[in-house]
Chain A
Amino acid sequence: MAAATIAFGSTSGAVGGAISAKNVNQFSPISSFSPKLSLLNNSNLLSTNTLSLKASAKPSFSCKSMASPQDSPAPDAAKVQELSVYEINERDRGSPAYLRLSQKSVNSLGDLVPFSNKLYTGDLQKRIGITAGICILIQHVEEKKGDRYEAVFTTYFGDYGSMTVQGQYLTYQDTYLAVTGGTGIFEGVSGQVKLQQLIFPFKLFYTFYLKGIPQLPEELLGAAVAPTPAVEPTAAAKACEAGATIVNYTQ
């Protein structure tokens, strides 16, 4: 995956062309986001930082190892499967809902941010479903011009099932969260997921490192589009056309 991350420190007011004034007003409850909501134009305002990966969060897991030769469906406990998905906020789900319950002008402990966005396969060819959960604001990190959240949410994969996730979400750098469980094909899953923010809070790229489940279906494993702020789902996937979604994608 690309090493570029967004230094989300830009407070310049440049708003990406896609956001009209109307859309901004629609999100007035989150106007406190505004220094960080200003969309970064695709190139010039971005500065790249090296990923500050946790030293011990280095992949102690290998890349996809060979499945055990028998055709037994029992999952190999130690085999790690990688799964990439894109989470995209298309601003048609009323998300995020920034609840400024701290009643302070600066983001503070007490603020809660329920959210729900759309999920696409890593190759951006198919609509999968949605994310649904809550971000608990823990603290504003002034020196990074960003915030620390504790995120608890589920990723929904239509008829395939779902996965629950919990961990830290920092608006200024990539993080690893825990995969705490799953249903359907993800039943019994364990592992961790890397979260890369491409455009806060509209585009995120997840790389799941999953253990304890059978081989994932091919349609979820297409070669991922390299994550950048400019990525977009295919028009067919966005429109949820037949063949551009998984079965009964979650809405």
Chain B
Amino acid sequence: MAAFRSTSSSLLKAASISSSAKLAPNATSLAQNVSPFRLFNPLLRRGLSMITTPSTTTAVSRSFSCISQSTSPDSPTPSKVQELSVYEINERDRGSPAYLRLSQKSVNSLGDLVPFSNKIYTGDLQKRVGITAGLCILIQNVPEKKGDRYEATLSLHFGDYGHICVQGEYLTYQDTYLAVTGGSGIFEGVYGQVKLQQLIFPFKLFYTFYLKGIPDLPEELLGAAVPPSPAVEPAAAAKACEPGATILNYTQ
């Protein structure tokens, strides 16, 4: 992750230039706001991203409790935390993001809305899972950080498994935690929080979910996560959505 800092700005520029044709007309405003951003506690989080079994999450420093013993084998243990990692990747083939400059100001300002929808892959980047779908509400431009504050409301759709709803702050210049507000399917009744790490704004993001209140997640979602860096790419089979490289009825 340390190597990321020096290469981030050149990667960002390359990414934004090649994609400007596909982004919304105001894509240049996105490019202008792109800046090297600092990873938040990179070493601590790197260790966590490798965790695949719930029983080892005690190293997490956030305020949720360690895993307690389950008393009923069939029902979810109230305080047991399950970690789930997911990569969100904008492959520039969904017309996303759509930057709606409704403030009509030259600087990103309150009033601007950014609907978006990108592809999501398992943390091990072996399988295509589905999509994100939601809205970023621009709250304010933060000149001293060369970035923006958004309020994000989105869902991550996991094909036949169901979906997870998320809401919270998205800062383009640092990692944030958002709230998990609910879900459907295997995520029905879920609560908890999710850490959002931006790898390349706004094309690659890494989510680490800390989920409570649901039964054990299926193994295929829990493969050892590839350590997040700007260079990560999904397996070619996953990108091509080949059989065996997707979950069942991955969301399109």
> Measuring CB to CB, which residues of chain A are less than 8 angstroms from any residue of chain B?
54-57, 60-61, 77-78, 101-102, 108-110, 112, 136-139, 148, 150, 152, 166-168, 176-181, 190-192, 209, 211
Contact with A along B66-101 (1 / 0, CB 8 A): 000000000100100000000000000011111010
Query: Is B163 interfacial (CB-CB < 8 Å)?
Result: yes
B131 proximity list for chain A (CB < 8 A): 138
Contacting pair B133 A136 (CB below 8 A): yes
- Selected from A56, A78, A148, the residue in CB contact (under 8 A) with B162 is A56
Contacting pair A54 B191 (CB below 8 A): no
Q: How far is the CA of A191 from the CA of B213 in the complex (A)?
A: 11
Q: How far is the CA of A167 from the CA of B154 in the complex (A)?
A: 8
Query: Is B184 interfacial (CB-CB < 8 Å)?
Result: yes
Task: List the 7 closest A-B pairs by CB distance, nearest first.
Answer: A178-B182, A110-B98, A180-B182, A176-B184, A180-B181, A150-B133, A57-B185
Q: How far is the CA of A244 from the CA of B80 in the complex (A)?
A: 45
**B162 CB, nearest partner CB in chain A, Å:** 6
Contacting pair B116 A166 (CB below 8 A): no
Interface size range on B against A = 35 or more
Knowing A136-B135, A150-B133, A191-B188, say if A168 contacts B163 (CB, 8 Å): yes
B159 proximity list for chain A (CB < 8 A): 54
Q: Which of A110, A150, A192 has the most CB of B within 10 A?
A: A150
Knowing A139-B94, A178-B184, say if A211 contacts B115 (CB, 8 Å): no
Q: How far is the CA of A136 from the CA of B131 in the complex (A)?
A: 14
- Selected from B24, B97, B189, the residue in CB contact (under 8 A) with A211 is B189
A209 proximity list for chain B (CB < 8 A): 188
Contacting pair B94 A57 (CB below 8 A): no
**A190 CB, nearest partner CB in chain B, Å:** 5
Q: For A77, give the chain B residue with the smallest CB separation.
A: B78
30 contacts between A and B (CB under 8 A): A54-B161, A56-B161, A57-B184, A57-B188, A77-B78, A102-B95, A108-B95, A108-B98, A109-B95, A109-B96, A109-B98, A109-B117, A138-B117, A139-B95, A139-B117, A148-B133, A150-B133, A150-B135, A150-B155, A152-B153, A166-B155, A168-B251, A178-B163, A178-B182, A178-B187, A178-B188, A181-B181, A190-B182, A190-B213, A211-B189
